[in-house]
Amino acid sequence: MKFNSVTIKNFRNFEDISIDLTNKNVLFGMNDVGKTNFLYALRYVFDKDIRKQNFFNTDYYKKKIDISIEIVVAIDISDTENEDSQKLRAKLKGAILSDQDIVYIKVKADYDEKEMIGVPVLYWGGDLEDLEEMKVHGTFFEIDYVFNMIYIDAYVDLYTLFKKNASKLLVNDKDQDKDILDNIRMTCDELNAQISGLSGIRAFEEKIAPEYKKYRHDDISVSVKSEIAVKGLYSNIVPYIKQGTDDSLYPTSGEGRKKLLVYAIFDLLSQEEEEKKINIFLIEEPENHLHRSMQIALSHILFLDDKYQYLFMTTHSPYVLAEMDQVNLVRIYNEDKVVSRSVLYTVPTKFKSQRKMLNRGLVEAIFADKVLLVEGSSENVLFGKVLSEINPFYEADGIYILPVGGFGFKPYYETLDALQIDNIIKTDNDLRKIKDKEEYSVLGFSRLNNYIGEKILPDTPISESGVEAKRKLYDNNREKLDEIRAEYSLYLSRCSLEEDLDEVIHDQMIMYLPNADGDPIGYLQDAKNNHMVELVEKLTAEDCKCIYEHYNFACLKEVMP
């Protein structure tokens, strides 16, 4: 079974939106773009407790109550060997034909102005244009016998959750429990008797009867009895955490501990239903109250544990996505009206062992509005300095610099393009000697052709290398390179970062790097990150402005809003 898509019409801030889905979906975007509303749309489909609240006029997009709310979820059940596909197909019965592999589940609600509510009606079947109305038994629709919706609020209260589900979590069905419960009842009776004998209670009984008789002359007395009983056995139970071999018990007062215990409890509750129903997890901002390391640990469970097979999650944290793979990234954003873009992100096979490192850069970038992709840490250090001088709040304005390192640009720009996140690439004009030949392949040109998807720049090998050969190659093709800049946001260095920088502030580099012995380029290339940091610490605001305005670093102007 695989979630295929969802369409939401006229619901809250969604006028008409369709989103591709898979079984693990991560929704992200700025605050107030509708991530929680998206989850609520799914809850109206799968959660009977939300559905029975009906729809109010404020649930209709801009209160357009003359138009129906429609939420349609499409699920692929073509895998006939899959147990969940079998469970769903069996419940559908005649609503789906044997040759139909997509199940459509629709919630529709027409607003009743007299009752001032919209009552959800559910439909399902294999033909979107001819769905069968779902049978309802009390507040249960047929779908409620198939799916178990588990919603985890960002601020879920541990103690409320524990008490609400104590009877499910604490089942006393062993033989020895009968004797223990009998002893508890006897103890409760003794305790009740002792409480009733307290002097304060006796004094109250003596004083209250005369006061009552002022209102009515009945021959009565008032007796106060304690009624502690077995039915209240779990009313005051509180979970504690015992650390290691320490015999002391500590209340789970830390919000981080509480949050992790909440997930552990939901895990146990889901086990109760997994054989009979299909568990779907809806999780809002799981990062709340969790330290970075705990978020990464939670990421491991959410994306690698089979329990969370069907997952819809909102987040603002890159750490929660550290272990993601085979995940549908859904970006919701607002340009006049709410729109979305989604992409199925899969870690490339060759990077599986480095998944965390690859994901770390990507998940920082997807929360940005504009991303500058650069070769490595030297560019990151220099460009970060320059941009911070031009605009100290450039990161707050949604700009992010992403060094691709050993992963290359492709795993990043393909995902960012699919999510329609503006990205600019700055790469080197590399040459590489061809084995057994006195020729050099034009790697930088070939790289740009590959990114564009067609041969725009010449890729014929050249017979010389070095700085002057690179500059000559660049200058001979500058018109095409400028067009590529403008149309594709691809910026090729004339040579490399260090040589291009030397063109701009050569005298300053000589002065700022006294240990370079007059060779600042070689010095920077010798220990890239350390020596670039040494230089950057001495750059003035005027130096940074000079770099920012220069042709060699025009990518910085484009990334600025």
Count the helix, strand and coil residues of the chain and give each as a percent rounded to the nearest 5. Answer: 45, 20, 35
* Structural domains in the chain plus CATH codes: 2-159+278-330 (3.40.50.300), 171-233 (no CATH), 352-559 (no CATH)
Query: Which amino acid is it at 222?
Result: V
* Helical ranges in 197-330 per DSSP H: 199-213, 255-273, 292-304
Cα dist. 181→58, 173, 176, 229, 233 in Å?
50, 11, 9, 11, 10
Cα dist. 45→41, 48, 73, 273 in Å?
7, 8, 8, 18
Judge residue 218's burial from the number of C-beta atoms within 10 Å of its C-beta, 0-12 exposed, 13-18 middle, 19 or more buried.
Answer: exposed
What's the CA gap between 135 and 30, in Å, rounded? 39
What one-character DSSP code corresponds to residue 98?
T
Judge residue 70's burial from the number of C-beta atoms within 10 Å of its C-beta, 0-12 exposed, 13-18 middle, 19 or more buried.
Answer: middle
Contact by Cβ (8 Å): 46, 55: no
Per-residue pLDDT at 45: 98
Query: Which amino acid is it at 525?
Result: Q
Residues contacting 158, CB < 8 A, separation 6+: 239, 252, 258, 259, 261, 262, 265
- pLDDT (tens, 9 = 90+) of the chain, 561 residues, equals 999 999 999 999 999 999 999 999 999 998 889 999 999 999 999 999 999 999 999 999 999 999 999 999 999 999 999 999 999 999 999 899 999 999 999 999 999 999 999 999 999 999 999 999 999 988 899 999 999 999 999 988 888 888 888 878 877 778 788 888 888 888 888 888 898 889 998 888 888 888 877 777 777 777 787 776 655 666 667 676 666 666 665 555 567 878 888 888 889 889 888 888 999 999 999 999 899 999 999 999 999 988 999 999 999 999 999 999 999 999 999 877 789 999 999 999 999 999 999 999 999 999 999 999 999 999 999 999 999 999 999 999 999 999 999 899 999 999 999 999 999 999 999 999 999 899 999 999 999 999 999 999 999 999 999 999 999 999 999 999 999 999 999 999 999 999 999 999 999 999 999 999 999 999 999 987 799 999 999 999 999 999 999 999 999 999 998
> 18 forms bridges with which residues in the sheet?
7
Phi-psi region of 218 (alpha: psi -120 to 50; beta: other; left: phi over 0): beta
- Pairing relation of β-strands 278-284 and 311-314? parallel
Per-residue pLDDT at 144: 96
Contact by Cβ (8 Å): 73, 13: no
What's the CA gap between 118 and 328, in Å, rounded? 32
Query: Which amino acid is it at 66?
Result: D
Contact by Cβ (8 Å): 205, 221: yes
DSSP string, 118-158: E--EEEEES-TTSPEEPPEETTEEGGGGTEEEEEE-TT--H
Which of helix, strand or coil describes residue 274? coil
Say how many CA atoms lie within 13 Å of 112 toward its Cβ: 11
- CB neighbourhood size of 419 (10 A): 20
Per-residue pLDDT at 248: 60
Q: CA nearest 535: which of 400, 517, 543, 374? A: 543
Q: Which two tokens stand for residue 418?
A: 């699919």
The per-residue b/e assignment along 95-133, b for 16 or more CB within 10 angstroms, e otherwise, is bbeeebbbbbbbbbbebeeeeebbebebbbbbeeeebbe
- CB neighbourhood size of 326 (10 A): 12
Contact by Cβ (8 Å): 319, 295: yes
Per-residue pLDDT at 328: 97
Give the neighbor-by-neighbor strand order of the sheet with 121-125.
14-20, 2-11, 69-76, 102-109, 121-125, 132-133
- Pairing relation of β-strands 102-109 and 278-284? unpaired
What's the CA gap between 486 and 480, in Å, rounded? 10
> 137 forms bridges with which residues in the sheet?
140
**Max Cα–Cα distance, the chain, nearest Å:** 120
